[in-house]
Structure 1
Amino acid sequence: MPSLITPKALARTYNHPSKDPWTAVELYREASKKPDDWGAQRVASAINSDQSNGFDGISRGEVRAWVDDDSKPDAARAVDVARELGWDADEWTETVRALAQLVIGIYAFGSINERHRSPSWSPDDPDSEAAIEQALEQVGVGYQHVDRDDPGQGDEIRPASHASRLGRALVVAGAPIGDKNARSVYGLPDWVDDAPMVVKVDLAVLLVRGRAITYPEKATRRIQSDRGAQYFRDVARLIEDATGATANASESGVTISADAVRELGLA
C-alpha cells in the first residue's frame, strides 16, 4: 500500500521563505552530514562542490542557522517526528490504522484549525470518545480534554503533544481542514477503498455511530449534513463494503439499512 503520509507531502504543508520546503529539508540533511566543527561557509562550499547532491549555488546564509545556531527547519522536525512515531509506514500497522481512524473522525465529528493546523474531535457518545482517545495514544501524541465555550456541548479531545504536526499529517492523509460543507468536503480519501476489511469496519462504525441519526421505532439510521453528493456515495460504499448490506446514498445523505447497522454491531 502507498503511505497515507509521505515525508515530501508533509514537508510541503509548511512555508519556506526562499525554496520548496522539501528542498529545504533535503538541504538541512545534507548540511547535517558535515563535521560539527565546520562553520557555515565551509559547509556551504562543500555542498556546492559535491555534484552528486543536486545542490548548486548554496550560500553561507542558507545554512548558517542550522550549522552555527543548531536550529532545524520546522518541516524537517515534522518529517522526523512522523518517521519516529511510524506515521509514514507503507503498511497497515496499528499506528497507520489509528491515523486512518483519526482522519475519518475529522469527517464525522472533528475539525482541523486552518491557522494552526491543530485537530480536535467532539464525539457525542462514549464509545466514539474512547476510540479517538485510543487512536491518539497509538499514534504517540496522547490526548487531553478541553472544555468548549458552550456549556451544552461536551469536551473537545485534542492531542497532548505534536498537535500541529499531527494535524498537518491528517490533512496530507485526506482530512478536511477548516469549515466542513458541500464546497469543502468532496468525498472520502482514495485510500479508504483499498483499506483492509478490518480497517473498513472500524471506519464505518466510527461514521455511523458518531454521525448517524437514530430513530426510536426502526433500526435504520441516516447520515445527513451539508456535504457534496460524492461524499455520500463514498460513505455508502464504505458501509456496504464493510457490512455486505445496503446503504443508499442520495444528494442529501445516506440511509443505512437495519441489516447494515446490525452487521456493524450497533443494533
Structure 2
Amino acid sequence: MPPLITPKALARTYNHPSKDPWTAVELYREAATKPDDWGAQRVASAINSDQSNDFEGISRSEVRAWVDDDSKPDAARAVDVARELGWDADGWTDTTEALAELVIGVYAFGSIVTENYVPSWSPDDPDSQGAIEDALTWAGVGYQHVERDGDAQADEIRPGQQSTKLGRVLVVAGAPMGDKNADSVHGLPDWVADAPMVLKLNLAVILVRGRGTEYEGKGTRTIQTDRGPQYFRDVARLIEDVTGETATASEHGVTISAAAVRELGLLRPTH
C-alpha cells in the first residue's frame, strides 16, 4: 500500500510566507548541504548557479536564518520527526497501524483542534482508553491524561509529546479536523478498505465499542450520529467485511446485528 502520509503532504499543512511549504523544505535541505563556514550570500549564490536543482533567484535573506542563525523551517522539523518515528513508512508497520487506529479513534471519540492541530481522545470505557494509549505508545509519542473538571465527559487522552506534529500527520492520513458533522465527515479514509484484516478488525472494534449504543436484553447495537450517509455505508461495510455478519446502513446510522457484535468480541454475556 502507499504510505499513510507523504513528506510533501505533511509539509503543506504548514504556512510559509513566500513559497510552497514543501519547496521551502527542499530549499532548506539544499542549503544544509553547503559547508558550515559559508555565509548566507555564498550559499544563495551557489544554489542559484547549480544547474542540477530547480531553484533560481534565491536571495540571501531566504536562507540567512538557516545558515547564519541555525534555524529550521517548522515543516522541515515535522518531516524529520515523521521519518525518525516511522510515520511515513511505505507499507503497514506497527507504527503505521497505530496511526490508523488513532485516525479511526478520532472518528469515534476524538477531535483535532483546527487552530493548532492538537489531537485528543475521550473514550468512555477502559478498553477503548487502553487501545488509544497503546496506539500512542506505538506511535512513539506516549500519552498523558488531561482532567476535565466539572465536565460529565471522560477525561482527555493526549499525546505525551509531538502533539501538533502528530495531529498534522493524522489529518493528512484522513482524520477529520474541527467539528464533526454531516458536512465535514463524508466517509472513512480510502486506505481502510486495503488494510490488513487484523487491523480492520481493530478499527471496527474501535468504532462499535466507542460509538455503538447498547440495548437492554438485546445483542444488537446502533451507531447514530451526525455524519454523511457514505460514512455509515463505509462503517457497515467494514463491520461486515471483518465479521461476515450483517450490519445495515441507513441515511442516519448503522445497525449492527448481534452476530456481528459477537464476532467483534463485544457481546456481553447474559446471566
Q: TM over 0.5: same fold?
A: yes
Give me the whole-angstrom Cα distance separating, in 1, the residues matched to 2:31 and 2:22: 14
Question: Aligned residues, how many?
Answer: 267
2:169 alignment counterpart: 169
2:140 alignment counterpart: 140
Give me the whole-angstrom Cα distance separating, in 2, the residues matched to 1:256 and 1:153: 25
After superposition, the C-alpha distances for 1:28-50 in whole angstroms (9 at most, x for unaligned) are 00000001110000000000010
Any residues of structure 2 matched to 1:84-233 within 5 Å, and which? Answer: 84-233=84-233
1:148 Cα deviation from its structure 2 partner = 1.4
After superposition, the C-alpha distances for 1:194-213 in whole angstroms (9 at most, x for unaligned) are 11101100000000001100
- SS of 1:222's equivalent in the other structure is strand
1:32 alignment counterpart: 32
Greater than 6 Å deviation, 4+ residue runs: none
The answer to whether 1:43 aligns with 2:43 is yes
After superposition, the C-alpha distances for 1:4-40 in whole angstroms (9 at most, x for unaligned) are 0110000000000000000000000000000111000
- SS of 2:255's equivalent in the other structure is strand
- SS of 1:35's equivalent in the other structure is coil
1:149 Cα deviation from its structure 2 partner = 4.1
Relative to the length of structure 1, the TM-score reads: 0.99
The residue type paired with residue 258 of structure 1 is A
After superposition, the C-alpha distances for 1:205-237 in whole angstroms (9 at most, x for unaligned) are 000001100011110000000000000000001
The answer to whether 1:68 aligns with 2:68 is yes
Give me the whole-angstrom Cα distance separating, in 2, the residues matched to 1:165 and 1:151: 27
Give me the whole-angstrom Cα distance separating, in 1, the residues matched to 2:42 and 2:18: 21
Which blocks of at least 5 consecutive residues in structure 1 are unaligned? none
The residue type paired with residue 31 of structure 1 is A
- SS of 2:62's equivalent in the other structure is helix
Give me the whole-angstrom Cα distance separating, in 1, the residues matched to 2:180 and 2:112: 10
After superposition, the C-alpha distances for 1:117-172 in whole angstroms (9 at most, x for unaligned) are 00000000000000000100111111000011433222100011110000000000
Give me the whole-angstrom Cα distance separating, in 2, the residues matched to 1:17 and 1:150: 41
Give me the whole-angstrom Cα distance separating, in 1, the residues matched to 2:107 and 2:121: 10
The answer to whether 1:248 aligns with 2:252 is no
Give me the whole-angstrom Cα distance separating, in 1, the residues matched to 2:72 and 2:133: 30
1:11 alignment counterpart: 11
After superposition, the C-alpha distances for 1:209-266 in whole angstroms (9 at most, x for unaligned) are 0110001111000000000000000000111111111100000000001111011101
Give me the whole-angstrom Cα distance separating, in 1, the residues matched to 2:188 and 2:149: 30
The residue type paired with residue 94 of structure 1 is D
Give me the whole-angstrom Cα distance separating, in 1, the residues matched to 2:125 and 2:217: 20
Q: 1:22 to 1:39 in 2, by over 3 A?
A: same
1:2 Cα deviation from its structure 2 partner = 0.4
- SS of 2:53's equivalent in the other structure is coil
Give me the whole-angstrom Cα distance separating, in 2, the residues matched to 1:150 and 1:89: 41
Question: Percent identity over the alignment?
Answer: 78
Task: Give the superposed CA RMSD.
Answer: 0.6
Give me the whole-angstrom Cα distance separating, in 1, the residues matched to 2:10 and 2:77: 11
1:60 Cα deviation from its structure 2 partner = 0.3
- SS of 1:88's equivalent in the other structure is coil
Which blocks of at least 5 consecutive residues in structure 2 are unaligned? none
Give me the whole-angstrom Cα distance separating, in 1, the residues matched to 2:148 and 2:228: 28
